[in-house]
Structure 1
Amino acid sequence: MGIRGRVSRSTLADANENRDWRIYADFAQSLIHTARQLYQNDDFGIDLQQTVYALDSTTVDLCLSVFPWAKFRKTKSAVKLHTLLDLRGNIPTFIHISDGKLHDVNVLDEIIPEPGSFYVMDRGYLDFARLYLLDQCGAFFVTRAKSNLGFRRLYSRPVDKSSGLQCDQTIVLITPKSAKEYPAHLRRIKFFDSENNKVLVFLTNDFTLPALTIAQLYRSRWQVELFFKWIKQHLRIKSFFGTSENAVKTQIWIAISVYVLVAIIKKKLKLEASLYTILQILSVSIFEKTPFLQMVTNRDVVVSQYNQTNQLKLFD
């Protein structure tokens, strides 16, 4: 690639400052499209044909004096990474990068609902007007109820309390504002989480799935937390080469591209190794001429004598 020496930090900083972050965002979306096709039939632990998304955000703290454009509080700056994760393959399908002040619930306005799909989210996204819009678009949601929810029970279904379920109810909202924003029926499920010794109350607009499956869907939301933890630990999105908004967004989109690209490699090469192991091998062998499959599996790879060139191919 023409690199004859060490690349300085300032060179990377200048590159991230000057190149439009949308280039990397578009590239990431292309990779995401490829990855979703590869993982579309994967099992994610729940017997469900529909697409299931987990929606959440993570905050990356920044120094106020260095990143004044992202002011969050009096003494610090921050950016938020809002992510919609497809649980089949844990592929991020929607990413919105904002300053730390943007409330999570506002991101629902940016998402185009897919009819028939499930959106799993925590209480930070509990806004009945926005949830009703999801319902009217034919999508399903699973979220947590707040303790002060005003409702009237219309019907109760029998539950197996040995499974942790405590109730499965059809309800209507009775607080004037909430009832106006969400005039339809809701399903309220109370579940005791024995692992954490905690009672959880779920709200959903799905009335067909077993109540225990709804509880399992909410538990699967943890995958988006693991995604955030993974990219923070193994990719560079806690410290940045540049200080402008463009530089920060560029670095985050590059990190997302790397994550998705590793997921594509894992699937296409049918590798058993974890994403982290594959990433580690790539990081120390990216310029090696040894075929990557051979490095990962210790298998010899036959290369056609008619397909040998001086430059290694990055893509097919």
Structure 2
Amino acid sequence: MAHYNTILNQIASFLPRHDFEKLAQKHHQGHKFRSYSRWSQFMAMTVAQLTGRKSLRDLVSNLAAKGKRIYHLGMKQTSRTTLARVNEQQPHELYQEMFFKLLRTCEEHAPKHRFKFKGKILLLDATTINLCLTVFPWATYRKTKGAIKLNFGLDADGYLPVFMDMTEGKRHEIELARALKLPAGSCVVFDRGYTDYSWYGDLDKSNITFVTRLKSNSGAYQFGNRRKPDTEDVVLDCKVKLPGHQATFRQVNYVDPETGKEYQFLTNSKKIKASEVAAIYKERWQIELFFKWIKQNLKVRTFLGTSPNAVLTQLWIALCVYLLLSYFKFMAKFRGSISEILRILQLSLFERRPLSDLLRPPDKVHQETNSPQLLLWN
């Protein structure tokens, strides 16, 4: 009978250990570890994400119960105080850099977006996570409430998060948006919370297309002739100017055939069809689904540490887990959702069987788990 490592061990094998150790040495603070390691921290926090552990004590007890199955992962014995100290003190930038390494590999295998627009389509939004102000005094929001705001950019190619930044709950998302260095030739989609006419003009000058909703009190006025609608659901397609700005933009009024509700969109694109402007904005709903998914399935609403560094460590590891799940979906051509992959892994995390058997369709020929094409990093 063939011998197989545990599913968790096979997941860990997708991350070349020598590359991880290079990052660990680069992002180390203080004295050298005597017995513990950043790899042990990463694997422990990954188990917390995949199994939904509720506290450090719960996580450490769960790891201790696995015995030799944890030893074969290359992990050191984990105590609650050690893990808490490492989460608090060791820089989270290790996992931030690891996230972008994983992202580059995932992007190579991600399916392309379904629109005729040739450039990247980036979905921009932010979500707020409430915290106890007495436990997280740095997360200022209101007088008696604490919160952090997670600002995300989601790539429409495969719905991968391409950047994340954490700010205080009271900080407006447009402040971060102004500082973003978006690639020229891309299209950024955002809701009315990002309304800033000056920023719209900056995007236009930088050759960045945008699609957003127009506020009812925007004061936009028509400029020039109307375009002929390309579908019957488009009731208006014309050039507009915004008060106090010389730049010319484009307004598209679209009636949703399912609800009969009329939407007013604003864009700086002259080439995209009016119906596709509406479809691209509708794609923005995917980032709302992404927020809902990570809050329901990953540990991003309750934290195993109270400092900003501990919170960011947990968030970046959660996003690395999300990229791993996405990668498995792309490579296995899994027809189900990422939630299904997560449930499959949760039920089989410490079983000894091929990972490929869990994700492949029943009628597919068996593929070797350690195939070179499955390595995440070069």
Please report the TM-score for the alignment, with normalisation by the length of structure 2.
0.73
Structure 1: tracts of 5 or more residues without a match: 308-312
Give me the CA root mean square deviation.
Answer: 2.5
Offset at 1:51? 1.1
Whether the 8 Å CA contact 2:92–2:310 is kept in 1: the answer is yes
1:203-240 per-position Cα deviation (integer Å, ceiling 9, x unaligned): 10001111010001100000010111110000000111
Higher strand share: 1
Corresponding residue to 1:220 among 271, 277, 283: 283
Whether the 8 Å CA contact 1:192–1:200 is kept in 2: the answer is yes
State the partner residue of 1:47.
Answer: 116
Corresponding residue to 2:94 among 23, 43, 47: 23
Offset at 1:114? 1.4
Alignment of 1:105-120 (within 5 A): 105-120=174-189
Matching residue's letter, 1:293: S
Paired positions, count: 300
Q: Distance in 2 between matches of 1:129 and 1:314?
A: 41
Q: Distance in 2 between matches of 1:5 and 1:18?
A: 27
Q: Distance in 2 between matches of 1:72 and 1:286?
A: 38
Whether the 8 Å CA contact 2:239–2:248 is kept in 1: the answer is yes
Q: Distance in 1 between matches of 2:249 and 2:162?
A: 27
State the partner residue of 1:162.
Answer: 232
Whether the 8 Å CA contact 1:291–1:301 is kept in 2: the answer is no
Offset at 1:302? 6.5
Larger RCO: 1 or 2 (CA < 8 Å, sep 6+): 2
CA 1:61–1:4 in structure 2 vs 1: closer, same or farther (change >3 Å)?
Answer: closer
Offset at 1:37? 1.6
Q: Distance in 1 between matches of 2:333 and 2:166?
A: 32
Q: Distance in 2 between matches of 1:265 and 1:161?
A: 39
- The alignment status of 1:129 with 2:190, answered yes or no, reads no
Q: Distance in 1 between matches of 2:341 and 2:82?
A: 27
Matching residue's letter, 1:33: R
State the partner residue of 2:157.
Answer: 88
CA 1:303–1:169 in structure 2 vs 1: closer, same or farther (change >3 Å)?
Answer: closer
Matching residue's letter, 1:55: L
Alignment of 1:183-262 (within 5 A): 183-262=246-325
Q: Distance in 2 between matches of 1:113 and 1:303?
A: 39
Question: Kindly, what percent of the aligned residue pairs are identical?
Answer: 37
Offset at 1:91? 0.5
Please report the TM-score for the alignment, with normalisation by the length of structure 1.
0.87
Structure 2: tracts of 5 or more residues without a match: 1-8, 10-39, 41-62, 67-77
Offset at 1:284? 3.5
State the partner residue of 2:47.
Answer: none
Larger deviation: 245-254 or 43-52? 43-52
CA 1:21–1:172 in structure 2 vs 1: closer, same or farther (change >3 Å)?
Answer: same
1:59-95 per-position Cα deviation (integer Å, ceiling 9, x unaligned): 0100111111001011111111101110110001111
CA 1:188–1:302 in structure 2 vs 1: closer, same or farther (change >3 Å)?
Answer: closer
Whether the 8 Å CA contact 1:10–1:241 is kept in 2: the answer is no
